[in-house]
Amino acid sequence: MHSSDRDRVVLAALVFAVLFSQLLLYPGVATLVETLGADAATSAFAATSLDASMWFLVAEFAAYVAFVGLWGLASDATGRRTPFIVVGAFGGALSYATLAAVPAIGTVPFEGVLLLRVGQGAMTIGAFSLTMTMLMDLEGGHGRNMGAAGIAIGLGAALGAPIGGQLTAVDPVAPLLVAAGLLVCVGTLVTLVEDRIPDERRSISALADGIRRRPTLSIPYAFGFVDRLTAGFFALVGTLYFQETFGLDARMTGLLLACFFAPFALLQYPMGALSDRIGRTVPIVVGSVCYGGGILLVGASPSVATAAVAMAGVGVLGALVAPATMALVTDLADENERGVAMAGFNLAGSLGFLGGFLVGGTVAGTYGYDLAFVVVGGLEIAIAVVTVPAFLRLSLEPTDRFRSEDRGDA
């Protein structure tokens, strides 16, 4: 096996571990926040179970937004990835373990829990974003590299949700302890991978200027924002919707979420390779329109069986869109600005997750689940329609560069 192929597998496994640890918490989030001390009588952030769950998830992604750019700038400016990933992984592990200890301490207010969650998010996003950037640094085709990242993300989410539900049934803090252990493994194993960051170092101001000179990056950023918004919507609102509408427990909710994440994960790599051959336009634009329509079908499903089928269809379409969008970031970014470029993509994605939690939670709580599904599905369709002229101007079709990378990988 070529060293870059081996490293692609290892790095994808590390991305998987980070996402898997994150998704472990989602199916049982309502039970977890109650165990961690969410109480309407003592905290304004816990007026209802939905509010407490929403703010617990928002705290992590607010930290993602605040810190992801700093990790990317630091990595590109110093010409190193590995040391920052180690720090982020071990810092995230410590934060997860501290959260797990809160019920035993018994005197930590829910606001303190949210601050711990912010610290955990600030550390974890460094490990996640820079591990993805190390995949960007590999040879072999941008679609393939980002397909490997995508299959890792999808598998982490697909397995994290149902296994998290099982762990919650055993002990509400069990997902936190497993997450801590996984991040320790990430911080250890990443040292075995060659750091292929380009040798040229640049100042932080030069890096920022380089990104500003590439406004076309706003296209994949916009799609990353909306795609992650839908993921955040399903993680919070979708979870509660399935439980309230169909009377599912955490275990069954995790399995229903897996109907989306399983095809989403398994098809990422072949879909990413496909985008290397046919270009990014069709997978991103057409895929997003169909993806939004699939979300509307999920909200209209009258039974668990039809919801499961609709979720599987949405997963297939998501697998078409996601790797092509991430590969587009690599296509457009200078090789010496990849850390910042991927940080920008993950910043947009984190804002999308926040939007999914806040917009989805607010609309669902105020106007009901039906309108929430319409809003989120409609946004996915709208972003595809609005950006068609931009894609036509870019003419992002197969290029000799993509074909030569494909041949080099054969």
pLDDT > 80? residue 336: no
Lowest-pLDDT range, 182-191, 207-216, 262-271? 207-216
- In the CATH scheme, what architecture does the domain 3-409 have? Up-down Bundle (1.20)
**Which of 65-69, 139-143, 206-210, 390-394 has maximum average pLDDT?**
65-69
pLDDT > 80? residue 144: no
User: pLDDT (tens digit, 9 = 90+) per residue, 74-123?
Assistant: 888 888 899 999 999 999 999 999 999 999 988 889 999 999 999 999 99
Tokens read off for 150: 């995508």
Q: Which residues contact 319 (CB under 8 A, 6 or more apart)?
A: 150, 154, 263, 264, 265, 266, 267, 268, 271
Q: Helix, strand or coil for residue 225?
A: helix
User: How much is the mean pLDDT over the chain?
Assistant: 83
Q: Which residues contact 366 (CB under 8 A, 6 or more apart)?
A: none
Counting residues of the chain whose pLDDT is more than 90, the rounded percentage is 30
pLDDT at site 399 = 42
pLDDT at site 403 = 39
Nearest-10 crossing angle of helices 304-332, 142-170: 140
pLDDT > 50? residue 374: yes
Give the integer Cα–Cα distance in Å for 15 and 365: 33
More confident residue, 96 or 40: 96
Phi-psi sector, 198: left (phi>0), alpha (psi -120 to 50), beta: beta
User: pLDDT (tens digit, 9 = 90+) per residue, 208-266?
Assistant: 565 566 677 888 888 888 888 887 788 778 888 888 888 888 778 878 887 887 788 78
What is the mean pLDDT of the segment spanning 317-327? 87
pLDDT at site 298 = 92
pLDDT at site 409 = 43
pTM: 0.73
pLDDT > 80? residue 359: yes
- Confidence bin at 179 (pLDDT 50/70/90): very high
- Confidence bin at 292 (pLDDT 50/70/90): very high
Give the integer Cα–Cα distance in Å for 121 and 202: 27
pLDDT at site 271 = 87
User: pLDDT (tens digit, 9 = 90+) per residue, 381-394?
Assistant: 998 888 878 777 76
More confident residue, 203 or 379: 379
pLDDT > 50? residue 54: yes
pLDDT at site 141 = 67
**All structural domains of the chain with their residue ranges:** 3-409
Assess contact for 259 and 312: CB atoms under 8 A.
yes
Give the integer Cα–Cα distance in Å for 176 and 199: 38
**Exposed, middle or buried by CB within 10 Å (0-12, 13-18, 19+), for 41?**
exposed
**Which of 26-30, 150-154, 185-189 has maximum average pLDDT?**
185-189
pLDDT at site 397 = 45
Counting residues of the chain whose pLDDT is more than 70, the rounded percentage is 90
pLDDT at site 261 = 76
- Confidence bin at 375 (pLDDT 50/70/90): very high
What is the mean pLDDT of the segment spanning 34-61? 85
